[in-house]
Structure 1
Amino acid sequence: MKKTYSLQAVFILAVLAPFFVKAQSASNGGSIFNEGTGYRRWSIGVNGGALAPVAIIGGSNDFTKWKASAGYGAYVKWQILHALGLRADYIGGKLTGDNSRNLGNDEAPNRKYSSFETKLKWSASLSAVVNVATINWLYRKNAVQIYVSAGGGLAGYSPRVELPGGDLKEYKPSGNIQEFIVPVGAGLKFKLSEIVNLDLGYTMHFVDGDNLDGYNYGRGKDKYSYGYGGLEFSLGRRNRPQLAWQNPARVMYDDLAAQKATLTQELAASREANAVLKADMDKLKADDDGDGVSNIFDKCPGTQAGAKVDGSGCDLPKPPPPPAVTQVTITEDDRRLVKDAIQNLEFETGRSSIKPSSYPSLNRVAEMLKNKGFSLKLGGHTDNVGNAQKNMALSKDRAESVKQYLVSQGANPSRIEAVGYGAGQPIASNKTAAGRQKNRRVEFTLY
């Protein structure tokens, strides 16, 4: 039981921790909830009121009748967000009570002491203050606030009790008692000006002990309350409003309304610009003669619709008529020249180089190709001796060698095709030397 209020304080700090984290991030980055540094954040307050050894939650202590006595207090407050602040409070005064109230049997209770008086020399606490509601929340600047607070602290006090015979006794003659307290309260605040606020509140203080009234009676712990009224003075530059009175909902509403107005203006301007752009585009796309070139670029207006024109809108020159097709006729003499070239064609052994002895017959074929416009297909072949891939490459190279030679003699390269077949199309048996000799050839196909 002695650790109950300590656990309550830890719980309260754990609940309020997210607010402190949010406050720190907001003060660093800025948001609608703190509006940067343009507000008053610090304030001090003084108050006076009534102290009583009782609380709305928990009732009175170990005497049957409590009495209200004068109390006084002061505090320093730092506003972190519009709805969250930290407040350091000091309270002093005295607490009194007696056993004059009957408990239902028309007799005063039989208690060890008849009355007590406790000097509350000081009570210091640190509390989180949360603004939970404002009366005029629809307005950007508020005038009335409802707030709640909770925290922890220490109280220093010295009780004195009265014995039934009238003798007075110091509860602890050796000095003051210091105990942990948990203050929980609520209040109503009125804004009188940008500097002064009227503060009305009520705070319950739960003591971590049963010594406040000088009588350790029962299992419950003591408590006391402070109802007060006072003034709060904000600190800072005169031209800055108090952050606690800022209404973030209204600020956000006004910001969104301003953004909407700006977007509406930008949209109207964009529509006007689009209309001008559309008119310019229509002017650029206008094409009176229908030739596909707009008037602004058309240097030859009046051309027939659908006519083929150049980029400036002028008629394209008509293409020349196609050349007459000449009938090509291959004669026996032509075939004999080709056959003679095939028979006289020889290559260096294992290579694609043509022997000079083959040049005269190839020259006659080249002259024929130039004069008569024939086309020629050259097909290279080899025997099956050696690697098939090398034979394929050799057959292709030999056909290309013949083509290159004919082209060097003036033949049209676009009318000559060179193909290699390797050993895939033999015309004789590869088992004899004579057959292999026949298979090593380049065929000429004239057309």
Structure 2
Amino acid sequence: MKTHGYCKLTVALTVMPALFVALALRGQPLLAQDTTTHFVKPLTGASGFRTWSIGLTGGALAPVAGIGGTNDYTQWMATLGYGAYIKYQVTHGLGFQLDYLGGTLQGNNSKVQSDGTYRVGPYSSFKTDLHWTGTLSAVYSFTNINWLWRRNILIPYVSLGAGMAGYAPTMTASSGETVAYKPGSEIHEFVVPVGAGCKFNVAPGINIDLGYKMYFLDADNLDGTERIPGHKDRFSYGYAGLEFALGPRSKPQLAADNPVYDLHRQMRQENEELRSRLMDETQAALDANKAKLAQVTALQEQIDKMKSDADGDGVSDYFDKCPNTPPGVKVDGSGCPLDTTPRVQTFQITEEDRRIVREAIQNLEFDFAKASIRPTSYPSLDRVAEILVNKHFSLKLAGHTDNVGSPSRNMRLSKDRAESVKAYLVSRGANPSRIEATGYGQTQPIASNRTADGRQKNRRVEFTLY
């Protein structure tokens, strides 16, 4: 009869593939092409992919290996093992993986040998606490380049590595006495892991990991017994786990990417772009022909217009910038009436004019943080408007602020205040074409903004009469 440990391992190794097949048949929505990840063009390196991943595993540990058989006891027992790893993917097929493994290993001499007898030894069973196993392995995935499917669902792999293991065996004699192999110490030995497995890509960046690893030790200490001189122990780990890709979700996982599909997608995209460009060029040629026809039509209309003079002012309609001129009005070469108005008398700016402007600047006040002028400023501004109307002077208004508030807001406020002054002067009869309003914000202070008096001086509208 098979032992209880052997049954547990058999059930575990049977259930895991069954679970794997069930997920493959029922998990189709998870396998749809991920529309949230970006497309990475082939031959552009690994920078566009997620190359780091972590994994957690659990499964059955046994002091037996598919290559080399059992160790120094006739019956091995399956026990729970657990592990974790971090992996870096170098290319689509090659990656390097740092593994941790822990658990216990057990065996006994309860199995009948081929000659019908039981093995006799100083101990009837053993239990080894596998405190830790740390290994670095090269992992090669050999079906990433898939010519049949757009997305890799099944990713078989093999691995080979090296590392160290730390463990402590305990043996049980036939009398039931428990003996530690090396009391109070942990054995450290070189170990070579060889494995194979298959990953199932259930979602972007998430893989189910099913595998089997054999660990070959460099000595015969694992079970605390040396039955055959020169023999070296081994153990195995059958596991199932989950692997999670690290990095932005917008990037595809390099280990699950299919470069053949990427190449096909790029060729299809370039083909669509070429077709679209040809259609655009064809449409552009048609539009160009239509434009040339329109130019010919417009040229004919211009020729016809050059021959006509609808208002009879002696200037053809083509050059006439002032059509429908009344009969008898003298016009210039562009067909516009000649300016017969008397010239405005020219005045010089006097000291009195400058004084009026200075008083207007000193008396100018606005509502707080607004562009509205306070009524107390109206009389001074009225006198400035009178000068502009009577002497036809021009005026430049320059608005300024202190540095309180954001630069963009101060720029708008200074411009609005200058425009408010202009609007008031225009309302009093001034010519708007002779008034220029500009805002400079906080860019041209005349005093320090660190004091209240300095900020007061910087909040101003300057008048320049010319």
TM-score using structure 2 length = 0.49
C-alpha distance in structure 2 between counterparts of 1:216 and 1:47, whole Å:
31
Q: Is the 8 A contact 1:67 1:95 kept in 2?
A: yes
Letter in 2 for 1:217: R
Q: After superposition, what is the alpha-carbon deviation per residue over 1:83-128, rounded to whole angstroms, capped at 9, x for unaligned?
A: 1111111000000001111112332112232111000000000111
1:359-398 to 2 correspondences below 5 Å: none
- The correspondence for 1:246, drawn from 237, 254, 257, is 257
C-alpha distance in structure 1 between counterparts of 2:45 and 2:121, whole Å:
59
C-alpha distance in structure 2 between counterparts of 1:152 and 1:125, whole Å:
5
Distance apart, 1:135 and its partner CA: 9.9
C-alpha distance in structure 1 between counterparts of 2:144 and 2:94, whole Å:
13
Letter in 2 for 1:250: Y
Q: After superposition, what is the alpha-carbon deviation per residue over 1:218-238, rounded to whole angstroms, capped at 9, x for unaligned?
A: 132110001111111111112
Q: Is the 8 A contact 2:165 2:188 kept in 1?
A: yes
Letter in 2 for 1:222: D
1:3-402 to 2 correspondences below 5 Å: 32=42, 35-133=45-143, 137-218=147-228, 219-259=230-270
C-alpha distance in structure 2 between counterparts of 1:92 and 1:34, whole Å:
39
Secondary structure of the corresponding residue to residue 209 of structure 1 = coil
C-alpha distance in structure 2 between counterparts of 1:37 and 1:57, whole Å:
39
Q: Is the 8 A contact 1:136 1:143 kept in 2?
A: no
Q: Is the 8 A contact 1:140 1:246 kept in 2?
A: no
Q: Is the 8 A contact 2:41 2:266 kept in 1?
A: no
C-alpha distance in structure 2 between counterparts of 1:117 and 1:50, whole Å:
15
In percent, how many aligned pairs have the same letter?
A: 48
CA RMSD of aligned residues (A): 2.8
Change (3 A) 1:264 1:239: closer
C-alpha distance in structure 1 between counterparts of 2:75 and 2:146, whole Å:
41
C-alpha distance in structure 1 between counterparts of 2:130 and 2:257, whole Å:
36
Q: Is the 8 A contact 1:135 1:143 kept in 2?
A: no
Unaligned residue ranges in structure 2 (runs of 5+): 1-39, 285-466
Distance apart, 1:40 and its partner CA: 1.1
Q: Tell me the number of residue pairs that the alignment of Structure 1 and Structure 2 aligns.
A: 245
Change (3 A) 1:111 1:196: same
C-alpha distance in structure 2 between counterparts of 1:31 and 1:223, whole Å:
45
Q: Is the 8 A contact 1:33 1:82 kept in 2?
A: no
Q: After superposition, what is the alpha-carbon deviation per residue over 1:297-331, rounded to whole angstroms, capped at 9, x for unaligned?
A: xxxxxxxxxxxxxxxxxxxxxxxxxxxxxxxxxxx
Secondary structure of the corresponding residue to residue 90 of structure 2 = strand
Change (3 A) 1:36 1:96: closer
C-alpha distance in structure 2 between counterparts of 1:261 and 1:139, whole Å:
22
Letter in 2 for 1:92: G
Letter in 1 for 2:168: S
Q: Is the 8 A contact 1:138 1:250 kept in 2?
A: no
C-alpha distance in structure 1 between counterparts of 2:117 and 2:44, whole Å:
60
Letter in 1 for 2:189: E
Secondary structure of the corresponding residue to residue 133 of structure 1 = coil
Letter in 2 for 1:235: L
Secondary structure of the corresponding residue to residue 225 of structure 1 = strand
Letter in 2 for 1:214: G
C-alpha distance in structure 2 between counterparts of 1:254 and 1:238, whole Å:
20
Distance apart, 1:186 and its partner CA: 0.9
Q: Is the 8 A contact 1:189 1:199 kept in 2?
A: yes
Unaligned residue ranges in structure 1 (runs of 5+): 1-29, 274-447
Distance apart, 1:266 and its partner CA: 8.1
Distance apart, 1:72 and its partner CA: 0.5
Q: Is the 8 A contact 2:206 2:245 kept in 1?
A: yes
Letter in 1 for 2:156: I
C-alpha distance in structure 2 between counterparts of 1:208 and 1:37, whole Å:
39
Question: Equivalent residue for 2:428?
Answer: none
C-alpha distance in structure 2 between counterparts of 1:34 and 1:200, whole Å:
31
Change (3 A) 1:248 1:159: same
C-alpha distance in structure 2 between counterparts of 1:230 and 1:268, whole Å:
52
Q: After superposition, what is the alpha-carbon deviation per residue over 1:151-188, rounded to whole angstroms, capped at 9, x for unaligned?
A: 11100000011122221111111401000111110111
Secondary structure of the corresponding residue to residue 123 of structure 2 = coil
Letter in 1 for 2:53: S
C-alpha distance in structure 1 between counterparts of 2:129 and 2:204, whole Å:
37
Question: Equivalent residue for 2:348?
Answer: none
C-alpha distance in structure 2 between counterparts of 1:227 and 1:48, whole Å:
8
Q: After superposition, what is the alpha-carbon deviation per residue over 1:402-427, rounded to whole angstroms, capped at 9, x for unaligned?
A: xxxxxxxxxxxxxxxxxxxxxxxxxx
Distance apart, 1:143 and its partner CA: 2.0
C-alpha distance in structure 2 between counterparts of 1:34 and 1:86, whole Å:
21
Letter in 2 for 1:40: R
Letter in 2 for 1:246: D
Q: Is the 8 A contact 1:159 1:214 kept in 2?
A: yes
Letter in 2 for 1:48: G
Q: After superposition, what is the alpha-carbon deviation per residue over 1:372-391, rounded to whole angstroms, capped at 9, x for unaligned?
A: xxxxxxxxxxxxxxxxxxxx
Question: Equivalent residue for 1:349?
Answer: none
C-alpha distance in structure 2 between counterparts of 1:173 and 1:134, whole Å:
49
Distance apart, 1:262 and its partner CA: 6.1
Change (3 A) 1:135 1:34: closer
Distance apart, 1:270 and its partner CA: 11
Q: Is the 8 A contact 1:51 1:70 kept in 2?
A: yes
Distance apart, 1:254 and its partner CA: 3.1
Q: Is the 8 A contact 1:94 1:119 kept in 2?
A: yes
Letter in 1 for 2:106: T
